[in-house]
Amino acid sequence: MGRKRKSTRRSPQARPRGILEVAPDGFCFVSTAEGEFFIPASKMGGAFDGDLVEIAPAKVNTSQQKTSSSGAKKQIGLRPTARVLRVINRAHDTIIGRYEVADPFGVVVPDDPRIPFDIFTMRSDNPDIKHGSIVRVRMIEYPSRNTAATGHIEEVLGLEGEPGMDIEAIIARHKLETKFSDAALAEAKQLQVDAEAALAEGYADERDRFVFTIDPFDARDFDDAISVAAVLPNGGLADAAIQSGGTLGPTTARPVPKCGHIAESGPTALAGLDFAGSSTASGSTMLENSGTKQWRIGIHIADVSHYVSWSSAVDADARKRATSVYLVDRVIPMLPEALSNNVCSLVPGQPRRVMTLDVVVDENANIYSVDCHLSLIESKARLSYDQAQLYIDAHRVGHDWHEAAAHMAQEPTPQGALPVDTAAHEQIYDALAVLHRFAQSRIKAREAAGGIDFSTTEAKVQLDELGQPVSVSLRKRTDATSCVEEAMILANECVARRLQQTQTPALFRVHEAPSADALSALIPVLQEFGYDKHLSLEDFVAGKPQALQELLALSRGKAEAPLVTNLLLRAQQRAHYSAECLGHYGLASASYCHFTSPIRRYPDLVVHRMLRTQLLGKRETYTQEVDSLPWLAEHSSKMERIAETAARESQELKLVEYMQQFVGQDFEGIVSGVTTYGLFVQLENTAEGLVPLRSLGTEYFSLDLAAHKLIGQGSGQVFRLGQRVTVRVQPATPHARKLEFSLV
């Protein structure tokens, strides 16, 4: 009698797959197509944060639930529990960490707290590495149930505690490029500004225009400048807003440059444009209102595409980086400094090649004409945002430019700024008066079109010469920043519209509407506050901008306003680059691209090259450039995310270090996150810390995901997103990017 055959599976069993995310307290989660799973720390199967893993349901003995180190019981009914079966794709082939001597081993303790595995190396292989060195270790074997992680030391970055070493670790962890190739540096060194050559090539000579830059006080590269000229009744131009007291006469007419113009004008060309303030309805009548004041706003952008061609060594390096990275103590530029801080930078008092976009608008920000051409300019002034605000404030209260000039004399002078004479003061004052009115009209028009404005605060940690944090400054939106932002948004919209109309291939900036699922998840919160009675939930879930605007307006000034804003921000999709023009939801723009920062963003450089094809014709590499657009869009989006993460981590690191002087002191904060292991609280200076549940005693707290709150099962005490609390600062571990708080 033969043996009985075991039953066999006729088809392979499908296992959920997803990216492993490790929380600060060691809890892990995997989001899959089947939903989100909770992974206990003991069930990670040697996987690291960011790994693509395959998981399987895990049985948990609910009668023997243990409390984690944070005091949070495992939420069995909250998410299904699973274990990692295998790692499909590793996110880390190298690890940055602290080298510790433990003969016969050299143990690398990962700098990233989300990787809870030490990596063992043989001390005999690297006998000269000092204890406490920061190193890069290449993985040989990943950890398993029976074996430890092993690797070999690939690079020694320096000693722990050395100035800047903490930031070097962030740079190394994100694999940021810090050195340019010898070929790129040699190319950049040879590039020079030749004004006469530019004019001979057909650039318009516009060095007599009053052009100025407005940037952060500590900016080193300037890729955008602005000019404002009043359009006189006779069609001439004055390089000042004559209604504000300017006395300059009309400029002389300039010949059309050899490079030609990309121009649109009149109601036919502009009808139907999605620019804020110029809808189809207004397009048919705006030229008939001859009594309306008009201004020509010039947006002048560094002509990087002239110096950096597709086939150059400089471009190969820039393409790989895709963006400049702004860390707390340094800038890692996309272009060599010979270009980014000199040849391409619109420094004051020096001739520079630019791509100029002249847009004629009226006092209500309606657009009359758009003209794009190559020109040679010379910046007449370099202002910080704070300095620009002085002129706007003076105009608002009815004072003349003398008031702003008096305050300017008391302000620190930005690096590279030229002395501002009387004529320049008056012209800046007049120009900013127009730009301020223009910006306010644009903001109102965009809101009417469905644009959503989330006001956010950005913290910048100030460091001393040794890299130690000494203060924290908060950057908030001001009238001056709005003037620049609105001018740049206008330019981006105009260029994107032109590219779309002419079916010119390029990279576009895309921001899609939030998903219905993401917005539906917010309904319980809206119902709890009674907002469902005042707005259409159907429109809200459909992502209609007006419904989101209405919700923000309803919550404004109320205690729950931070919660509502925070939840809406989290529901938004991330903007990205695409070879297709798919519109920008947040700005209510049907056509949008990045055009205004070619020194620091590669997609802007791509857009410049595509505009040049309309001005100068196609290049030999045009087909190759077009074929690369899909890859460049994906790559640029990825590198942007990496750059933003590294920049944020560097600020958080120094912010935590700065807050160590306040250990034991109390601060007001807002609950910014609730989890099974505690609640996160953000202070006014944006420093964020965790209040572990263990610090709240022995009470059991359950997490209500839908309502974003923790509920004490005995006391009924509630902690929810957006709630104001008082916390006490606790000591932080070295290199931490999050503080630990206790509730007062």
What is the predicted pLDDT for the residue at 352?
98
- Residues in CB range of 132: below 8 A, 6 or more apart: 98, 99, 100, 159, 160, 161
Tell me: the pLDDT tens digits for 70-127? Answer: 333 334 335 788 999 999 999 999 999 999 999 999 999 998 888 889 999 999 999 9
In this predicted structure, what is the pLDDT of residue 737?
A: 79
d(CA 96, CA 115): 10
Confidence of residue 259 (pLDDT cuts 50, 70, 90): low
Evaluate whether residue 6 is within a structural domain: no
Name, in order, each residue with C-beta under 8 angstroms of 362's C-beta and a sequence gap of 6 or more.
Answer: 286, 289, 292, 293, 294, 295, 368
State which residues form the domain around 65: 17-89
CATH code of the domain containing 123: 2.40.50.700
Residue 260, pLDDT score: 64
Residue 7 confidence (pLDDT): 53
Does residue 465 fall inside a structural domain?
yes
Q: In sequence order, which residues have a C-beta less than 8 Å from that of residue 672 and are 6 or more positions away?
A: 566, 680, 681, 682, 688, 721
488 within some domain? yes
Indicate whether 623 and 669 sit together in one domain: no
Q: How far apart are CA 264 and CA 614, in angstroms?
A: 14
pLDDT of residue 98: 93
Q: Does any domain span residue 448?
A: yes
212 vs 262, residue with greater confidence: 212
Residue that wins the pLDDT comparison between 77 and 192: 192
> Which among 384-388, 557-561, 676-680 has the top mean pLDDT?
384-388
Residue 455 has pLDDT above 90, yes or no: no
Instruction: Give pLDDT, residue 172.
Output: 92
Residue 311 has pLDDT above 70, yes or no: yes
Q: What 3-state DSSP class applies to 45?
A: coil
CA atoms 487, 488, 494, 497: torsion sign: negative
Q: How does residue 12 score in pLDDT terms, banded at 50, 70 and 90?
A: low
The whole-chain average pLDDT of the chain stands at: 86
pLDDT at position 267: 34
Pairing of strands 105-110, 94-102: antiparallel
In terms of domains, do 322 and 349 share one?
A: yes
Same domain, 75 and 100: no
The CATH number of the domain where 39 resides is what? 2.40.50.690
pLDDT computed for residue 163 by the predictor: 86
At residue 239 the predicted structure's pLDDT band, cuts being 50, 70 and 90, is low
For the chain, report the end-to-end CA distance as a whole number of angstroms.
77
According to the model, what pLDDT value does residue 292 have? 66
Phi, psi of 371 (to 5 degrees): -135, 130
Q: What is the pLDDT of residue 482?
A: 95
404 SS3 class: helix
How confident is the model at residue 78, as a pLDDT?
57
pTM for the structure as a whole: 0.86
End residue of a domain, out of 71, 89, 107 = 89
pLDDT at 423 over 60: yes
- CA dist., res. 35 & res. 78, Å (int): 12
What pLDDT sits at residue 687? 93
Which of 89, 116, 137 finishes a domain?
89
Count of domains observed in the chain: 4
Please check whether residues 266 and 121 belong to one and the same domain. no
Is residue 671 included in any domain, yes or no? yes
pLDDT value at 59 more than 80: no
The two structure tokens encoding residue 209: 């225009």
Q: What is the pLDDT of residue 281?
A: 27
Residue 334 has pLDDT above 50, yes or no: yes
Reported confidence tier of residue 277, pLDDT bands at 50, 70, 90:
very low
Q: Which of the residue ranges 225-229, 330-334, 404-408 would you say has the lowest mean pLDDT?
A: 404-408
Q: Is the pLDDT of residue 62 over 90?
A: no
Average pLDDT over residues 17-37: 82
Same domain for 212 and 317, yes or no, is yes
Q: Which of 614, 8, 655 is nearest to 357 (CA)?
A: 614
pLDDT > 90: percent of the chain: 62
Q: Which helix (H) or strand (E) holds 228?
A: strand 224-231
For the segment 118-139, the average pLDDT, to the nearest whole number, is 94
Asked whether residue 463 carries a pLDDT value surpassing 50, the answer given is: yes
Claim to verify: residue 240 and residue 364 sit in the same structural domain:
yes
Write out pLDDT tens, residues 431-445.
Answer: 999 999 999 999 999
Distance in angstroms (rounded) separating the CA atoms of residues 335 and 302: 13
Any domain includes 544: no
CA 387 to chain centre: 24
What pLDDT shows up at residue 10?
A: 53
Residues 336 and 479 grouped into a single domain: yes
Range from 54-63, 258-267, 457-466 that averages highest in pLDDT: 457-466
pLDDT at residue 29 is higher than 70: yes
pLDDT at 473: 92
Q: Does the pLDDT at position 289 exceed 80? A: no
275 pLDDT band (50/70/90 cuts)?
A: very low
CA 75 to each of CA 21, 68, 372, 525, 700: distance values in angstroms, whole numbers, following the listed order = 17, 11, 60, 21, 11
pLDDT at res. 247: 30
| C-alpha–C-alpha distance, residues 729 and 685, integer Å | 14
Residues 282 and 349 grouped into a single domain: yes
Q: Are residues 251 and 144 in the same domain?
A: no
pLDDT tens digits, one per residue of 584-615: 999 999 999 999 999 999 999 999 999 999 99
Predicted local confidence at residue 76, as pLDDT:
36
Q: Is the pLDDT of residue 388 over 70?
A: yes
Residue 413: predicted pLDDT: 86
Q: Is residue 703 domain-shared with residue 625, that is, in the same domain?
A: no
pLDDT tens column, 648-667:
999 999 999 999 999 999 99
Above 50 in pLDDT, residue 582?
yes
**Percent of the chain whose pLDDT exceeds 70:** 87
109 and 58 in a common domain: no
Q: Are residues 622 and 675 in the same domain?
A: no
Please determine, for residue 478, whether its predicted confidence score (pLDDT) is greater than 60.
yes
CA distance 129 to 682: 39
Q: Check residue 456 and give its pLDDT.
A: 75
Q: Looking at residues 303-320, what average pLDDT do you find? A: 97
